[in-house]
Structures are given as structure tokens and as C-alpha cells.
A and B are shown apart, each in its own frame.
Chain A
Amino acid sequence: QAQLVESGGGSVKPGGSLRLSCEASGFTFSDFFISWVRQAPGKGLEWVSYISKTGSVTFYADSVKGRFSVSRDNVKNSLYLEMTNLRADDSGVYYCAREPTFPAGLDVWGRGTTVTVSS
């Protein structure tokens, strides 16, 4: 059964950094694109970043460009989101989700990890 599990969330002060991880199991990780999606408390979904199967192509939302960096290790079946210069509006639940090679939306999601940025 395909599964994604996020970790690394926590509380950090504005300007601080965090590294989120997403571990995959039950499927061939290297066959899928992966996105990070976040959700501020009580708000809607916001797409954050995308990484291609090999990691050679990445995209970011304007709100995080230059501050966040996504990477993956296909040997460890893991995805990472390095977040720097964090702001209060970066707070929320961060989900990783996979996308099949044939573009078909985000078909498997993790349960999310919570990031709180507060002084």
C-alpha cells in the first residue's frame, strides 16, 4: 500500500529554519513526481513546490521562492524541504503528495507535519 509519511515539523522563531522530510513506502518512489502542499490553520490548500523524478527540475510558489529548497534521495525513498528565513505566514500543516508520470493529479498524500512560526 502506497504511503507517504512527513516529519520534521515543529516550532521555530521568525527568521529560523526547519527541514521537513517525507518518507515513501509501498511504491517505486523514483517513478513519481512529488509536490509539497501546505495549509494554514483554518485556511485552504496552497501548493508550495514540485520536484521531478530525478530531482533535476524543481518549481516553487512565489511566496517561498528563494527561501525554500526541495530535494530528494531516491535511494532512501525520501523527499526533503529545506525552509529558511521562516515567517509567521509559513505556519501550517505541510503535506507531501505524489503525482504519477502521466499527469493525473496528486493521488497519494501524507498525513502532514505541522510547522509553527512564532516569537
Chain B
Amino acid sequence: EIVLTQSPGTQSLSPGERATLSCRASQTILNNYLAWYQQRPGRAPRLLIYGASTRATDVPVRFSGSGSATDFTLTITKLEPEDFAVYYCQQYGTAPYSFGQGTRLEIK
């Protein structure tokens, strides 16, 4: 089973700042099948990025994904108030699929 480790656990930033979230895999992710999701309180997760770097439909351009193999990054430039939420990475290349434990982005 591929284990995904996200860091940091919590990041405290101000609106307008840049956020950099990390996701590290215990082994190479097949075809870079790595996705990022945003989850706001009481809501279902929302797909942001798939294939490590492709934005999903209607996702603002301030969200970008990068990385390959075992190291991946989600970057959010110029944080908006609605971006403060929990973010998860997920690998869907090898079953059992797995999620990281999440990074909470909170307002400083």
C-alpha cells in the first residue's frame, strides 16, 4: 500500500500570501496519478488537481500542482478567504488507493 505523508499538518497564513503544501509518497506513483482535494467544513471534498498538475474544471488559476514520482506540491498564490480549508492529496494509480492525512490551512 502506498502511504502519502502531507506536510505541514497545519499552515497559518494571511489572505494574499502564498501557500505551499507538500505530499510525499512511500513509493513512486504510477503515471503521476496524484490528485488534490479541498474540503471545507461540513462539505464534501472538491477536486482541484489531477494528474499531479492539471486543474479540474472551474478551479481558479491561483491553484497549481507540480511534482512527480514521490514528491508533489500544491501551490496557492494570493490566498483568498475561501481558500482556508483542509487539503488532501490522493494517489489513484495503484490499488488500494490512498489519501494523505491532510493539511489544514488556517487564517493567521
Contacts and interface: CB of A to CB of B under 8 A. Distances in A.
Contacts of B88: 44-45
B63 interface: no
B45 A45 contact: yes
Contacts of B92: 99, 103, 105-106
B72 interface: no
A30 to B, nearest CB: 20
Contacts of A59: 95-97
A67 to B, nearest CB: 14
Q: How many interface residues does chain A have, given as a range?
A: 20 to 34
Interface in B21-50: 31, 33, 35, 37, 39, 44-47, 49-50
Nearest to B50: A105
B67 interface: no
Contacts of A104: 35, 50-51, 54, 56
A91 interface: no
Contacts of B101: 44
A45 B99 contact: yes
A44 B96 contact: no
